[in-house]
C-alpha cells in the first residue's frame, strides 16, 4: 500500500475537475427528528430505537438534531462552510406514511423536502438526494416483512421513487436509490444489530435466519433499485436530465500476511463479499461473484434472465462510501453457515505487527489513507465507472468533553489529518487517471448514529445535544476541508 501525499501538497493544486462536487452528507433518520410531525409515519428505526437495549445510550432519534425544524439555519451554515453540494436522504414514511403503492401521499412531507431543495439551490448548493437510507416504513414491515417479500415490496418502492422524481426532479439532478444495501442487509438481518433486528439469535433478536435472509434482502434491493432506475430513465430523465445510481459501502481489506497466497486471496474475497456482491451485478459480470456462489450455494438467490438484464448497467455512477481498512486472514476451517464475509477473520495489526491505522473514537474505524487509495484503484480497475464519493469521515477522541462555552473553537487535529490523508488519496487517484467526481464528508453535524446513539461524533460541527436548539459549533476541520478543496478544484 502506498501512502499518498497529503491533500494540501503543491502537486495537488487544481487536479480536480472544475465541476467537482464537495460537501457534507446526512441521513434523514439521523438528523431530522420530528419523527411524527405533520403526518409522518413510523419507520423501522423509529420503532427499533424505542426497544430497550438496542441503542447503546438508550436514546431514540425522536429529536436527533432537529434538522426538520432548523433546515434554513443549516443551509446558512453549509453556505458559510463554502460547500457547493449537500447530500441528504428522504424519509419514505414522511412522504408516504404507510409506505405502500396504494397508500396516501403526505403532501406536508413532500413540501418539506421541496423547501429544503429550494433553499439549497437559492444558496448555490447542489442537492444530492438519497431515496433510501435504511428507514423503511414500519407499516410495510408489519404488512409483509418489508424487503423479505420482493414481490410485494418492489411495487411499493417503485411508486415511492416515482412520487419523488415527479415532485423534486425538476430541481434535483443527482439521485441515489439505496445507501449501502450491504450494511442494511448484514446489520439488519445477519448480525441483527440494526433495524429491523432479525437474526438466528432468537434470544436477542426477532427470529430470522442469518444464513438466508441477508441474501434475500440484498436481492430485493438490487432488483428494486434497478426498477426505480428504469422508471427514472424512461419517464423522467428525458426531460429532467439528471443522473441516478446506487451507493455501496466498502472497507479496504489488506492481507494479514502478504506473503501467504491464502491471505492475499482472502483479502480479495472479503471485498467481493462486501462490495462485488452488489457491484458485479450492476457494473460487472451481471451476476454475484463466483466465490460467493461457491460458499453459499443456493442460499444466494439466482437472477432470472429478466432481472439480470434489468440490473446490469443500472447505475450512471459508482456511489462510494468508505471509512477504514482491515487486515484479513484466511480460515482453514469450512465457513460457518451464518458467515457472510467470505470465511475470513479481521485484524487490527498485520503479521509484522503494523497497525491498520491511527485510532479514532470508534472501535471499527482507524485512519488509513493508503488503504483508501488502494480501494479507489480496486473499484476503478474492476468497474471503470465514474466514482462519486458519497461518504467518508471519522470521529475523534475527546470531543464529548469539549466545552462550547470555553471561548475556543474545537481544533480537531485528528479529523484534519484524516481529511488531509483521505482527500490526498482522492487527488492522487485522480492524478493517475481514476475518474472521481465528488467528495462528501460524513457528516454535516454530530448526529444520531443509529445503534451508537449520540456516542459517535462524526460531525464537521459539534452539536450541543443538551440544548433545546441543538446548537451547532463548527469544528476547525470543516473550514480546513473548504480550504483543501479550494486548493484542489480547478477554477474555470
Interface positions with ligand GBH (CB under 6 A)? 27, 179-180, 183, 187, 193, 249, 321, 323, 364, 391, 442, 449, 458
Of 61 and 220, which has the nearer Cβ to ligand GBH?
Answer: 61
The minimum distance between CB 360 and ligand GBH, in angstroms, equals 10
Catalytic entry in 32, 180, 221, 274: 180
Contacts for 36 with CB less than 8 Å, ≥ 6 apart: 42
Neighbours of 240 (CB within 10 A): 17
Measured from the CB of residue 190, what is the shortest distance to ligand GBH in angstroms? 11
Contact by Cβ (8 Å): 448, 29:
yes
Three cell numbers, residue 375: 480501494
> Please, what is the minimum distance in Å from the beta carbon of residue 17 to ligand GBH?
25
Which residue lies nearer to ligand GBH by CB, 53 or 334? 53
Identity of the residue, 283 or 323, whose beta carbon is nearer to ligand GBH in the bound complex: 323
Residue nearer to ligand GBH on the CB measure, 418 or 442: 442
Nearer to ligand GBH, 106 or 362 (CB): 362
The least CB distance from residue 130 to ligand GBH, in Å, is 9
Question: Minimum distance between the CB of residue 431 and ligand GBH, rounded to whole angstroms?
Answer: 27
Taking the least distance from each CB to ligand GBH, the nearer of 217 and 310 is 217
Q: Are 248 and 275 in contact (CB under 8 A)?
A: yes
Catalytic site residue 180? yes
- 323: cell is 471509512
Question: Comparing C-alpha atoms, which of 426, 432, 418, 390 is closest to residue 475?
Answer: 418
The yes-or-no answer on residue 141 being catalytic is: no
Residue where the block lists cell 476541508? 481
Nearer to ligand GBH, 147 or 310 (CB): 147
CA dihedral 40, 41, 43, 46 (to 10 degrees): 80
Cα distance between residue 367 and residue 374, in whole Å: 14
Ranges of H-type helices in 236-388: 237-240, 261-271, 277-283, 290-296, 305-311, 369-383
Compute the C-alpha angle 8/9/10, nearest 5°: 115
Task: Kindly list the distances between the CA atom of residue 346 and the CA atoms of 5, 251, 267, 302, 456, in Å, as whole numbers in the listed order.
Answer: 27, 11, 9, 29, 22
The distance of closest approach from Cβ of residue 25 to ligand GBH in the complex, given in angstroms and rounded to an integer, is 8
Least distance between ligand GBH and beta carbon 134 (Å): 7
Residue 396 near residue 478 (C-beta atoms within 8 A): no
Q: Which is nearer to ligand GBH, 165 or 458 (CB)?
A: 458
Nearer to ligand GBH, 373 or 441 (CB): 441
Cα–Cα distance list, 240 to 112, 158, 169, 236, 440 (Å): 21, 18, 6, 6, 23
Give the shortest CB-432-to-ligand GBH separation in angstroms: 26
Q: Which of 32, 274, 307, 391 is catalytic?
A: 391
SS3 letters across 184-237: HHHHHHHCCCCCCCEECCCCCCEECCCCCHHHHHHHHHHHHHHHHHHHHHHHHH
Residues 6 or more apart whose Cβ sits within 8 Å of residue 364: 323, 324
Q: Dihedral, CA atoms, 70, 75, 76, 77, nearest 10 degrees?
A: 90
The answer to whether the beta carbons of residues 48 and 197 sit under 8 Å apart is: yes
Q: Among residues 61 and 295, whose Cβ is nearest to ligand GBH?
A: 61
Q: Pairing between strand 126-132 and 243-249?
A: unpaired
Q: Which residues contact 203 (CB under 8 A, 6 or more apart)?
A: none
Residue 23 CB, shortest distance to ligand GBH, in Å, is: 15
Local structure of 405: helix, strand or coil = helix
Rounded to the nearest whole angstrom, what is the least distance from the CB of residue 364 to ligand GBH in the complex?
Answer: 4
**Cβ–Cβ under 8 Å, residues 291 and 284:** no
Q: Closest by alpha carbon to 470, among 163, 10, 62?
A: 62
Partners of 206 in beta bridges = 198
Just list the catalytic residues. Answer: 180, 391
Amino acid at each position: 500500500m502506498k501512502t499518498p501525499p497529503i491533500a494540501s501538497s503543491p502537486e495537488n493544486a487544481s487536479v480536480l475537475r472544475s465541476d467537482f462536487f464537495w460537501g457534507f452528507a446526512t441521513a434523514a433518520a439521523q438528523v431530522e427528528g420530528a419523527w411524527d410531525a405533520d403526518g409522518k409515519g413510523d419507520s423501522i428505526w423509529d420503532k427499533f430505537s424505542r426497544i430497550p437495549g438496542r441503542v447503546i445510550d438508550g436514546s431514540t432519534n425522536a429529536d436527533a438534531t432537529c434538522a426538520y425544524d432548523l433546515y434554513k439555519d443549516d443551509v446558512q451554515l453549509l453556505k458559510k462552510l463554502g460547500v457547493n453540494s449537500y447530500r441528504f436522504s428522504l424519509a419514505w414514511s414522511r412522504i408516504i406514511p404507510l409506505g405502500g403503492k396504494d397508500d396516501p401521499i403526505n403532501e406536508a412531507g413532500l413540501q418539506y423536502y421541496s423547501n429544503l431543495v429550494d433553499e439549497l439551490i437559492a444558496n448555490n448548493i447542489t442537492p444530492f438526494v438519497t431515496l433510501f437510507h435504511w428507514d423503511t416504513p414500519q407499516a410495510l414491515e408489519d404488512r409483509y416483512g418489508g424487503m423479505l417479500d420482493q414481490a410485494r415490496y418492489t411495487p411499493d418502492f417503485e411508486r415511492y421513487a416515482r412520487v419523488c422524481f415527479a415532485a423534486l426532479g425538476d430541481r434535483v439532478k443527482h439521485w441515489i436509490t439505496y445507501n449501502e444495501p450491504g450494511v442494511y442487509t448484514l446489520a439488519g438481518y445477519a448480525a441483527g444489530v440494526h433495524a429491523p433486528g432479525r437474526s438466528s439469535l432468537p434470544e436477542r433478536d426477532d427470529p430470522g435466519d442469518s444464513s438466508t435472509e441477508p441474501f434475500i434482502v440484498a436481492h430485493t434491493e438490487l432488483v428494486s433499485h434497478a426498477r426505480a432506475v428504469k422508471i427514472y430513465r424512461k419517464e423522467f430523465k428525458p426531460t429532467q436530465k439528471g443522473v441516478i445510481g446506487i451507493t455501496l459501502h466498502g472497507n479496504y481489506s489488506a492481507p494479514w500476511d502478504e506473503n501467504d497466497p491464502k491471505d492475499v486471496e482472502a483479502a480479495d474475497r472479503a471485498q467481493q463479499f462486501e462490495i462485488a456482491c452488489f457491484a458485479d451485478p450492476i457494473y460487472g459480470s451481471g451476476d454475484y461473484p463466483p466465490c460467493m456462489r461457491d460458499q453459499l450455494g443456493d442460499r444466494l438467490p439466482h437472477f432470472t434472465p429478466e432481472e439480470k438484464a434489468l440490473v446490469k448497467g443500472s447505475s450512471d455512477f459508482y456511489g462510494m462510501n468508505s471509512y477504514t481498512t482491515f487486515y484479513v486472514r484466511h480460515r482453514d476451517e469450512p465457513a460457518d453457515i451464518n458467515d457472510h464475509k467470505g470465511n475470513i477473520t479481521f485484524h487490527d495489526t498485520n503479521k509484522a505487527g503494523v497497525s491498520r491505522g491511527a485510532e479514532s473514537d470508534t472501535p471499527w474505524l482507524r485512519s488509513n489513507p493508503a488503504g483508501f487509495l488502494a480501494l479507489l484503484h480496486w473499484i476503478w480497475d474492476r468497474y471503470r465507472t465514474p466514482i462519486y464519493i458519497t461518504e467518508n469521515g471519522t470521529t475523534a477522541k475527546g470531543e464529548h468533553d469539549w466545552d462550547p462555552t470555553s471561548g475556543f473553537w474545537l481544533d480537531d487535529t485528528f479529523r484534519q489529518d484524516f481529511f488531509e490523508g483521505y482527500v490526498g488519496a482522492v487527488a492522487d487517484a485522480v492524478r493517475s487517471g481514476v475518474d472521481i467526481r465528488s467528495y462528501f464528508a460524513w457528516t454535516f453535524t454530530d448526529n444520531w448514529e443509529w445503534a451508537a446513539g449520540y456516542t459517535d461524533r462524526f460531525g464537521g460541527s459539534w452539536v450541543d445535544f443538551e440544548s433545546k436548539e441543538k446548537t451547532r459549533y463548527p469544528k476547525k476541520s470543516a473550514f480546513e476541508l473548504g480550504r483543501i478543496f479550494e486548493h484542489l478544484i480547478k477554477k474555470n
